[in-house]
A and B are shown apart, each in its own frame.
Chain A
Amino acid sequence: MSGLLRFCGLTFDARIPGTGPVGVPAIAVPASVTLLPLVCFAHELLRARRVRAHHRGVLDMVGRRSARWRATALDHDTPAAYCLPGRRPRIVVSAGALKLLSPAQLESVLEHERAHIAGRHHLALAATEAFARVFRWLPLAREARAQTALLLEMAADDRALRRHPREALVSALYAMAAGRAPGGAFSVGGPDAVVRLRRILEARRRPHPALRGMVVAAAVAVPLLPPLLGCAPGMG
C-alpha cells in the first residue's frame, strides 16, 4: 500500500507547513480503527465458544446419542434441528423432528447441518457479529449479519441438495416450519425460509464460467477504485 502511495507521488515525509512532528493521535486513530474489529472478532469467537461449551455440557447429559443418525436426540415436541459447530461438534434433532420427518427428509436435514460444521460457518457468523458490535450504529452492519446468516443457510442447502433429492429438502423445510407451533412465538429474521424454499424450487443452472469470472473480478476491483482514483496523477 505504501509503495502504491509513493508511486502516486504521495510520500510519507510530506509535511504540511506549520505542523510539527506527527502526534500520537495521528497514529492511534487509524490503529484503533484497524485493531478494534480484530479484537472484537477474537472476543466474539471466545464468547461463542463459551456459549457452545456450556450448551454441549448440558446436551451430553440430557440428550441421547443416536448411533443410527450420528446425532444427539432431544426429547422435545417442537420440530428442530441444529448444530453446535467447533472442535467437538454435535448435531441435534428433537423428538418432534424425528416424528415428523421421513428417513429421506431427515437425511437431507442432517446433511444440511453437517455442511454448517464442515464449512466452519460459525467463523463467518462470528466475524459479522463482531462487525455489527463495533459499528453498532451502521445499518450496513446489522444488515450484513442477517444476510450472512441467510447466505450460510443457502450454502448448507446447496450441499444437502448435492447428495439428496430436492423434494426431500423442500418438504422437510416446509414440514418443520409449519410444524412449529407459533404459540405467540416472536417471529424473527424476516421470510428467510421462504426465500430459501423459492430458491431451491427454481431449477437453476450454474452460471457460465466467464460470467462468474467477471463477478469475481468486479468484487476485487471495486474496493480498490477509491485509492486508485484518489491517487490519480495531478490529484496529489
Chain B
Amino acid sequence: MRRLGELEAEIMDRLWAWQRPTTVREIVDDINEHRPVAYTTVMTVASILYNKGWLLRAKEGRAWVYSPVRSREEYTAALMEDALGTSEDRSAALAHFVEQMGPEEVSALRKALRAAGRRTQA
C-alpha cells in the first residue's frame, strides 16, 4: 500500500515538473532510468490517479495522455489556507505554532520582547 502511494507521488512529481500532457510510456521510460517498473503498473496507477481526481486525460491517437488537474503550487496554497485559515469555525483538525496575526499584534510582540530585553540588562 505504501509502495502504491510512493509510485503515485513519483508519477505526480514528473507531471508537475514537465507541465505538458504526457503518455504513460514517457513516464515509464523516465522511471526506468532509476529502477525497473512495469508499463502495466504505471498505467494502472495513472488511471487510479485519474479516478481520484488528480489527473485529467485525453485520447491522443491510440494512447491516453495525462496532465495534472492543478499545479503543485495550487495544492500547496490550498493546504496552507486549510492550516492557517481563520474562519469562525476553527476545525479541530490542526494544531499550529502561530496563528495568522495582524500588524498590531506583531508590534505588541516586539514591545514585549524589548521590555524583556531591558529587564535582563537591568
Tell whether A pairs with B: yes
Binding site for B on A (CB under 8 A): 44, 47-49, 51-52, 55, 58-63, 74-76, 78, 80-85, 92, 94, 109, 112-113, 116-117, 121-122, 125-126, 129, 145, 149, 152-153, 156, 170, 172-174, 176-178, 180, 182, 185-189, 191-194, 197-198, 201
User: Which single residue of chain B is at the shortest CB-CB distance from A79?
Assistant: B98
- A185 contacts B100, C-beta separation under 8 Å: yes
Task: Name the one of A75, A173, A186 contacting B76, with C-beta atoms under 8 angstroms.
Answer: A75
Q: Say what secondary structure dominates the interface of chain A.
A: helix
Binding site for A on B (CB under 8 A): 5, 8-9, 12, 54, 72-73, 75-80, 82-84, 86, 90-106, 108-110, 112-113, 116
CB distance from A59 to the nearest CB of B (A): 6
CB distance from A109 to the nearest CB of B (A): 5
Closest 9 pairs (CB-CB, A-B) = A187-B102, A188-B86, A125-B92, A116-B95, A81-B97, A51-B93, A201-B116, A126-B92, A48-B92
- B80 contacts A122, C-beta separation under 8 Å: no
Rounded to whole angstroms, the CA-CA distance of A62 and B9 in the bound complex is 8
Rounded to whole angstroms, the CA-CA distance of A46 and B93 in the bound complex is 10
User: Which single residue of chain A is at the shortest CB-CB distance from B106?
Assistant: A178
Task: Name the one of B80, B105, B108, B113 contacting A78, with C-beta atoms under 8 angstroms.
Answer: B80
Known contacts A80-B84, A180-B100, A188-B86; A113/B109 CB under 8 A: no
Task: Name the one of A59, A109, A193 contacting B105, with C-beta atoms under 8 angstroms.
Answer: A193
Q: Say what secondary structure dominates the interface of chain B.
A: helix
Rounded to whole angstroms, the CA-CA distance of A174 and B99 in the bound complex is 12
- B102 contacts A76, C-beta separation under 8 Å: no
- B101 contacts A193, C-beta separation under 8 Å: yes
CB distance from A133 to the nearest CB of B (A): 9
Rounded to whole angstroms, the CA-CA distance of A187 and B104 in the bound complex is 10
17 CB < 8 A contacts A-B: A44-B92, A51-B91, A61-B9, A63-B79, A75-B72, A78-B80, A80-B80, A82-B84, A82-B94, A83-B95, A85-B93, A113-B97, A129-B90, A145-B90, A173-B98, A187-B104, A197-B112
User: Which single residue of chain B is at the shortest CB-CB distance from A169?
Assistant: B97
- B83 contacts A182, C-beta separation under 8 Å: no
A121 contacts across to B, CB distance below 8 A: 95
User: Which single residue of chain A is at the shortest CB-CB distance from B120?
Assistant: A201
Instruction: Give 7 A-B pairs besides A61-B9, A78-B80, A80-B97 with Cβ atoms closer than 8 angstroms.
Output: A52-B94, A82-B83, A126-B92, A174-B113, A176-B97, A191-B105, A198-B112
CB distance from B35 to the nearest CB of A (A): 18
- A201 contacts B76, C-beta separation under 8 Å: no
- A188 contacts B100, C-beta separation under 8 Å: yes
Known contacts A74-B76, A182-B102, A185-B102; A92/B83 CB under 8 A: yes
